[in-house]
Amino acid sequence: MKKIILIIPFLSLHFGCVRDSNMQERALYGVVPATWSSSTSPGNQSSEHNQTFWVEQFPDPALSQAIRKAWISNPSLLAMAERVLASGEDVIVAGASLYPNAKADLSGSRSKRNLIGFNFPNGETSFTSKSFNAGINLSWEIDLWGKLKDRRNSAKMRFKGTQAEYSAARLSLAGQIAKAWFEIIESEGQLRIARNTSVTYSQNQDFIQDRFEKGLASALDNDLAKTTLSSAKANLARRNRVHQASIRNLQLLLGEYPDGLLDRNNSGNLPLLNSATISSSPAETLERRPDVKAARLEVKASGIDIGVSQKSLLPSISIAGGPGSRSGEFENLLEQRFRIWDVTGAVSQPIFQAGRLRAQIRKAKALREAAIKNFKATALQAFSEVENSLSGEKFIDEEEAQLEKATEAAESAAKLSWDRYQRGVEGIFNTLDAQRRAFEAESRLLSVRKERILNRINLYLALGMNALPEKP
């Protein structure tokens, strides 16, 4: 009893930080602001706070099907799922040490000994002995200090952490699929613009070539028309290359061979989105994001590991033994008279480990500090992603509005300039430049509308919103 009383202060000294782990964990959230600093548009609102699944913001059934397909076929995600299963087995392995271990043993031996100087009646100078043993050996380490239970709890935390990491990877993959999906739609639109540009410049060249042959246009006009047409054809080739690359990127994410052939069920144009506002606070976002959850669980697991390493300095108590049989003849092992049993108790106290146990404690503390810093970095990254997306929404609104005006004005100017050139009151250089500006404005407007969609997807991912229901 006195020994136990002496140990209690030792435990208080070594495990005080473990009892305060929850308090320390709460202290991690001291940097969380109450609201987001980036302002949002007070007008139209997205339905972020009304709907749970962000893919439903884009009414395209083919997109939802693609995401679900990627969840069951993407090799990287499948590999992570296997790592989750492996982590679950670690929990079983760690928990098994809390219970007795049992194994069946069967052994036999035969030996011959020579005895010199002994006179046996039959004249033999050696004899042969046989021994057979059978039994069940039980061993159990009593978890007096809770060390084994702590190991199991640490494994549970890390298992939950791998589950959270898998959820984060699943969410990230959904975002990548959606981005690749709209990249393809945008590249199709850019292809249409490039084809229209090439057709327009081809018609220009034919018209100017005819006038040049009739002496109504200069050689400079004719050369400029040819140059513009060649540039338009080069741009068309580049747009085809980008389109093929975007298709192959999506196929890779889907776990398919990237042959550049993809049937998207004739999905339409880029969707037009309302301005986004969010209702979730920074603290709610931290609770929702799976990567933050995984980092938080690692902090908990590493805190438990400190206690495990500290408890390794304490005595361990174990019990071993079990029933069995022992005989010189194998067929006698099942007889009652040859039955035996034994029970052994042992107490082990580390005395000299050359600093190994103390080093393990310091290592565990260092790893916990690393986990805390990683948690803070993950939280700050989450805040940054949300703030950047919210800020991006505001500037994209302004950019899109100005490009809509610029596109309309450029198209009107191009038509007017071509009419003036045909009437001979304006040079071909200004006309071609006006047409180029019109096509570029249309292309930039399409690009910024795609950027709005990608930014909105980034916002959904940053908020940790679920992509789709588990079941269709």
H/E segment holding residue 141: strand 126-142
d(Cα 309, Cα 313) in Å, to the nearest integer?
8
Domain enclosing residue 252, as ranges: 15-98+157-313+358-462
d(Cα 365, Cα 27) in Å, to the nearest integer?
17
Q: Is residue 106 part of a domain?
A: no
Our CA angle for 342, 343, 346, nearest 5°, is: 140
Lowest mean pLDDT among 232-246, 311-325, 425-439: 311-325
Task: Kindly tell me if the per-residue pLDDT of 48 is higher than 50.
Answer: no
Task: Kindly tell me if the per-residue pLDDT of 60 is higher than 90.
Answer: no
Task: Kindly tell me if the per-residue pLDDT of 51 is higher than 70.
Answer: no
- At 235-285, the pLDDT tens digits run 999 999 999 999 999 999 999 999 988 877 666 788 888 777 777 888 888
- At 217-241, the pLDDT tens digits run 889 999 999 999 999 999 999 999 9
Q: Is residue 352 part of a domain?
A: no
d(Cα 311, Cα 427) in Å, to the nearest integer?
89
d(Cα 375, Cα 299) in Å, to the nearest integer?
7
d(Cα 139, Cα 171) in Å, to the nearest integer?
45
Q: What local confidence, expressed as pLDDT, does residue 7 receive?
A: 33
User: 10 Å Cβ neighbour count for 297?
Assistant: 22
Q: Is 140 left (phi over 0), alpha (psi -120 to 50) or beta?
A: beta
**Which pTM does this prediction carry?**
0.83
Place of tokens 């890390």: 158
SS3 state at 263: coil
Q: Is residue 105 part of a domain?
A: no
Q: Is residue 38 part of a domain?
A: yes
β-pair type (316-327, 101-114): unpaired
Where residue 288 sits, what CATH number does that domain have? 1.20.1600.10
Task: Kindly tell me if the per-residue pLDDT of 73 is higher than 70.
Answer: yes
SS3 state at 462: helix
Q: Which whole number is the average pLDDT over 296-304? A: 94
Find all residues with CB under 8 Å of 49, minimum gap 6, and list them.
Answer: 278, 279, 280
Q: Which whole number is the average pLDDT over 59-86? A: 94
Q: Are 298 and 364 in contact (CB under 8 A)?
A: no
Alpha carbon 139 to its chain centroid, in Å, reads 41
Q: Is residue 404 part of a domain?
A: yes
Q: Please state the φ and ψ torsions of residue 341, each to the nearest 5 degrees.
A: -155, 155
Number of domains present in the structure of the chain: 1
Which pLDDT band holds residue 149 (cuts at 50, 70, 90)?
very high
Q: Is residue 245 part of a domain?
A: yes
User: 10 Å Cβ neighbour count for 298?
Assistant: 24
Q: Is residue 187 part of a domain?
A: yes
Lowest mean pLDDT among 167-171, 294-298, 325-329, 416-420: 325-329
Task: Kindly tell me if the per-residue pLDDT of 21 is higher than 50.
Answer: no
Q: Is residue 143 part of a domain?
A: no
Task: Kindly tell me if the per-residue pLDDT of 141 is higher than 90.
Answer: no
Place of tokens 């302004």: 398
